[in-house]
A and B are shown apart, each in its own frame.
Chain A
Amino acid sequence: MENEEVILLDLWASPFGMRAKIALALKGINYEHRDEDLSNKSDLLLKTNPVHKKIPVLIHNGKPICESLIIVEYIDEIWPHKFPLLPLDPYQRASARFWADFVDKKIYGARNRKIRTAKGEEQEAAKEELIENLKLLEGELGNKAYFGGEHLGYVDVVLVPIYSWFYTNEKFGNFSFETECPKLIAWAKRCFEQESVCKSLPDQDKIYQHALQLMKRSGYE
């Protein structure tokens, strides 16, 4: 595995980029991390992701892979021996993919931004929806230590970046995740005990400051 060139085009606050960082860290892969300025996208980003022009982009030996879930599966397939993320059994794999897709559709979806950007009833509705969906995830976690069972797996990697955003959403939405979803908070803290996770996730307060700046720039109060 020498002479592998791995570059990650990213944005430090992006939960999607965090997924790739965690996967690479768990597998012990050396890579070059490049933070993009989304108001001034690099030529490399525009060349490697011409369709969506978004981060993260993983560039492996010059070849780009886009979309965080696809990147995580790719990393798992290229470096299968250390810390396998997807299970071997096809039904369990389908189940893991289903919940990763659910996280993308329901937890990271555009509607959740309303927790920060909307007010009154609209904000309340967004909060309720998010909590309902987090509770569904708690149900899927059950009594397991991780979604992956005894070890961190694909769904854990896909979901855990929201932890950096919990504080931000709580401040904006005026509620407490720990009160509503204690099992999930316990799970997140357990993930944080893994060095690969805690060194890949930014500080919650930094994210809050970043969110405040974004809101100001977009003209929200």
Chain B
Amino acid sequence: MEGAVVLLDFWPSMFGMRTRVALAEKQIKYEYKEEDLRNKSELLLQMNPVHKKIPVLIHNGKPVCESLIQVQYIDEVWNDRAPLLPANPYKRATARFWADFIDKKLYDIGTRIWKTKGEEQETAKKEYIECLKLLEGELGDKAYFGGDNFGYLDVALIPFYCWFYAYEQCGNFSIEAECPKLIAWAKRCMQKESVAKSLPDQQKIYEFLLQMKKAFGIE
């Protein structure tokens, strides 16, 4: 079970944060390696030759790529503590469905919020809130998406929370006003040490986003 664990990552990446949270939940010691995405390391190119992307989890020298696959791998290898996926196959399929929904929608729509202006931005904001409301519906009255305990879907979604402030600033809107239940859920998650220590400060994310906008020539 034990053995060297290395994570190739990029600190603002929501996807990398998922893996950080999963490793922290399972209390796994690992070596964190920050990548410069404009100058990717030999190790990254060697461990993820197909996509050349972070995060890459390296366990005993063998790479696992794609954040949701990493979270499932971590859950399966370290299966003696803090289970992330539910035991019931139907609940597992449901958790996977919503994690896939997050992957299909949130990142791209969120990107449009900061990259565009005017009507395009308004549309992106509307779509983003719609997605979050669907997720609120899935959460219902539960403390976490995983029920009483923090689980797979909570891990998949919580990293997006640290980007909300940046999107709100760029888009001049309040996510809390539209989705109070979701923000309440996020704050509940942030009280967990595994989450709080894995997510960067939202102000730092906003500053990073401002730099990205400059680099893209967006006001």
Residues of A in contact with B (beta carbons under 8 Å apart): 51, 60, 63, 65-67, 70-71, 73-74, 77-78, 90-91, 93-94, 97-98, 101-102, 136
Cα A74 to Cα B70 in complex, Å, equals 19
Kindly list chain B residues whose C-beta atoms are within 8 Å of the C-beta of A90.
Answer: 73, 76-77
Q: Nearest-CB distance from B121 to chain A (Å)?
A: 24
Q: Are B76 and A65 in contact (CB under 8 A)?
A: no
Q: Are B90 and A65 in contact (CB under 8 A)?
A: yes
Residues of A contacting B: mostly: helix
Question: Given A51-B101, A98-B65, is A93 in contact with B93 using a C-beta cutoff of 8 Å?
Answer: no
Q: Are A77 and B134 in contact (CB under 8 A)?
A: no
Q: Nearest-CB distance from B61 to chain A (Å)?
A: 11
Q: Are A67 and B100 in contact (CB under 8 A)?
A: yes
Q: Are A91 and B89 in contact (CB under 8 A)?
A: no
Residue of A nearest to B48 (CB): A98
Q: Are B66 and A67 in contact (CB under 8 A)?
A: no
B96 is an interface residue with CB less than 8 A from chain A? yes
Kindly list chain A residues whose C-beta atoms are within 8 Å of the C-beta of B202.
Answer: none
Cα A73 to Cα B91 in complex, Å, equals 12
Residue of B nearest to A102 (CB): B50
- Interchain CB contact (< 8 A) of B69 among A67, A70, A71, A98: A98
Q: Are B73 and A94 in contact (CB under 8 A)?
A: yes
Q: Are B72 and A77 in contact (CB under 8 A)?
A: no
Cα A152 to Cα B76 in complex, Å, equals 23
Kindly list chain B residues whose C-beta atoms are within 8 Å of the C-beta of A102.
Answer: 50
Which B residues from 63 to 85 make CB contacts under 8 A with A? 64-66, 69-70, 72-73, 76-77
Q: Are A93 and B92 in contact (CB under 8 A)?
A: no
Q: Are A70 and B76 in contact (CB under 8 A)?
A: no
Q: Are B89 and A78 in contact (CB under 8 A)?
A: yes
Kindly list chain A residues whose C-beta atoms are within 8 Å of the C-beta of B76.
Answer: 90, 93
Q: Are A65 and B64 in contact (CB under 8 A)?
A: no
Q: Are B93 and A70 in contact (CB under 8 A)?
A: yes
B192 is an interface residue with CB less than 8 A from chain A? no
When each residue 177-213 of chain B gets 1 if its CB lies under 8 Å from chain A and 0 otherwise, what string results?
Answer: 0000000000000000000000000000000000000
Kindly list chain A residues whose C-beta atoms are within 8 Å of the C-beta of B142.
Answer: none
Q: Are B73 and A91 in contact (CB under 8 A)?
A: yes
Q: Nearest-CB distance from B60 to chain A (Å)?
A: 9
Q: Are B64 and A94 in contact (CB under 8 A)?
A: yes
B29 is an interface residue with CB less than 8 A from chain A? no
Kindly list chain A residues whose C-beta atoms are within 8 Å of the C-beta of B107.
Answer: none
Q: Nearest-CB distance from B109 to chain A (Å)?
A: 14
Q: Nearest-CB distance from B26 to chain A (Å)?
A: 13
Cα A65 to Cα B89 in complex, Å, equals 10
Kindly list chain B residues whose C-beta atoms are within 8 Å of the C-beta of A63.
Answer: 90
Q: Are A94 and B93 in contact (CB under 8 A)?
A: no
Which B residues from 12 to 71 make CB contacts under 8 A with A? 50, 59, 62, 64-66, 69-70
Q: Are A94 and B90 in contact (CB under 8 A)?
A: no
